[in-house]
Structure 1
Amino acid sequence: MATANTVTGHGPRTAPAGASLAVLRSETRLFLREPGSLFWILVFPTVLMTILGLIPSFREHDDALGGRRVIDLYVPVAVLLAMIMAGLQAMPPVLTGYRERGILRRMSTTPVRPAALLGAQIVLHGAAALGSALLVMAVGRIAFQVRLPGQPFGYLLALLLAVACVLALGALVCAISRTIKISAAIGSVVFFVTMFTAGVWVPVQTMPDTLRRIVQVTPFGAASQALDRAASGGWPSWAYLGAVALWTVLAAGVAIRRFRWE
């Protein structure tokens, strides 16, 4: 594997910063060679949103939704779906695989700390999720005349918090998983739960009141509401932003305490 070769070679010892950049470059090459991950993160959310947008009733204005259309609600949902794909489906098996194969342990004998590999994976999957979000919004605007976020700064803040949250959850899945199989199993369970709370099957705004109140305290239920509010032109509720931030801190804290390099 390119990463193992990069960080365990017998050449001159590289300065930590330079070695970390070398790891990032190597991981980027490996990431780009995975068409499956690239499809599910970068392409699938836009394809799903496009399919839904082709349903005639989804393009009709609904008084029950405040005059908006169902497709307007699904653009933020597709944005969250890209993040969920990156953080919970793509990243945990990679990191767990590196640990299971002893790559992280071998890195401890090089100038690069194992954290460099973890950081590279977080950067790559976070960047892929943000790139997918931009693609979703662009296609939604061009193909279905979905308005761009009316409150761009609030939307960006909610977007960055959601990315941080899903990556923290992905790191937590990796931390508590001893093998790739366990990581895939746990990740799949969390994946489907987060898809529901993000509103992939039923938009949060259309859920029954009791269910909606429950979903809104989950990380992606809160993120969905924050993004929807910013997309509509208002500043996202600090309660929703705070909920996403709290979940991020809790997941990251537990992941740091439970994570093992070997």
Structure 2
Amino acid sequence: MTTTTPTTASRTAPAVAVLRAETRLFLREPGSLFWILAFPSVLLVILGFVPAFAEPQDDLAGRRVIDLYVPVSILLAMIMAGLQAMPPVLTSYRERGVLRRMSTTPVRPGALLTAQITLHGAAALGSALLVVTVGGLLHGVPLPGHLTGYVLALLLAVAVVLAMGATICALSRTTKAATAAGSVAYLVMMFTAGVWVPVQAMPDTLRRIVGFTPFGAAAQALDQAASGDWPSWACLGVVAGWTVLLGFAASRLFRWQ
């Protein structure tokens, strides 16, 4: 005990210091905070005042369009965090030699990677809580009927977007390349998540195709849990499979310098 405790503390203290420093830097970025935390809720507020979105639809089993846009807005926050905000930050650190210099100090580069993943994941989950609250208070969107399934789908969606962002960081040599790749992935994932057309309103063939994408499957899993059902194992399996695949690719391809 006398030899293990100091060693553990000596490894933990620098990681905690890095997390604190990165938290301060993250909070000084009003753009990232707005697009991740505020914009999805603002979008939901605006959409809720469209008269047609507040009326029950027969082709949606009596649900309203605004009900469908709660999980969509949640996924939008995750896409913002994982694909637009995180990759440029990590890539700029590597491009400027910050990670290489950290490798010569007691603070390991992995602590910085962990801090970034923690911050952006927490911001995405915080935005999800805000979206659910806004939807319920302003537009009468009911709380998820199957809370456990909803939380599981949320956690898997956060994991897959962070794994995708880490893969973009691994493949991008410069900040500009990371920004460009993140923007392309951002637009594609927005479509599959149902930002422009909810997945439930897509034609059957397109919905089946989208169901094989990480956010198409996540959107369907969240919708099923919101309706009170346990998310289908097929949807959860697709999201989990993409998480494992992208996480493996990021770990193999990521370079500290």
SS in 2 for 1:260: coil
Correspondent of 1:94 among 63, 76, 89:
89
Correspondent of 1:132 among 105, 127, 151:
127
List aligned pairs for 1:109-124, cutoff 5 A.
Answer: 109-124=104-119
Aligned to 2:235: 240
Aligned to 2:77: 82
- Structure 1 unmatched ranges of 5 or more: 1-13
SS in 2 for 1:202: coil
* CA apart distance, 1:168: 0.2
* CA apart distance, 1:49: 1.0
Aligned to 1:215: 210
Aligned to 2:249: 254
TM-score (norm. length: structure 1): 0.94
What letter corresponds to residue 200 of structure 1 in structure 2?
V
Aligned to 1:71: 66
What letter corresponds to residue 42 of structure 2 in structure 1?
V
List aligned pairs for 1:82-231, cutoff 5 A.
Answer: 82-231=77-226
SS in 2 for 1:167: helix
* CA apart distance, 1:113: 1.1
What letter corresponds to residue 118 of structure 2 in structure 1?
V
Matched residue pairs, number? 249
* CA apart distance, 1:120: 0.1
CA offsets, 1:135-175, max 9 Å, x none? Answer: 00000000000000000000000000000000000000000
Give the Cα separation in 1 of the matches to 2:49 and 2:37.
20
SS in 2 for 1:15: helix
Give the Cα separation in 2 of the matches to 1:54 and 1:112.
50
Give the Cα separation in 2 of the matches to 1:56 and 1:253.
45
Aligned to 2:6: none
* CA apart distance, 1:15: 1.5
Aligned to 1:58: 53
Give me the identity figure in percent: 72
SS in 1 for 2:182: helix
Give the Cα separation in 1 of the matches to 2:204 and 2:227.
21
What letter corresponds to residue 74 of structure 2 in structure 1?
V
Give the Cα separation in 1 of the matches to 2:70 and 2:109.
37
Does residue 35 of structure 1 match 2:30? yes
Give the Cα separation in 1 of the matches to 2:242 and 2:45.
30
What letter corresponds to residue 88 of structure 1 in structure 2?
L
- Structure 2 unmatched ranges of 5 or more: 1-8
Give the Cα separation in 1 of the matches to 2:52 and 2:17.
50
* CA apart distance, 1:16: 1.6
* CA apart distance, 1:112: 1.4
Does residue 24 of structure 1 match 2:27? no
* CA apart distance, 1:79: 0.4
Provide the alpha-carbon RMSD of the alignment: 0.7
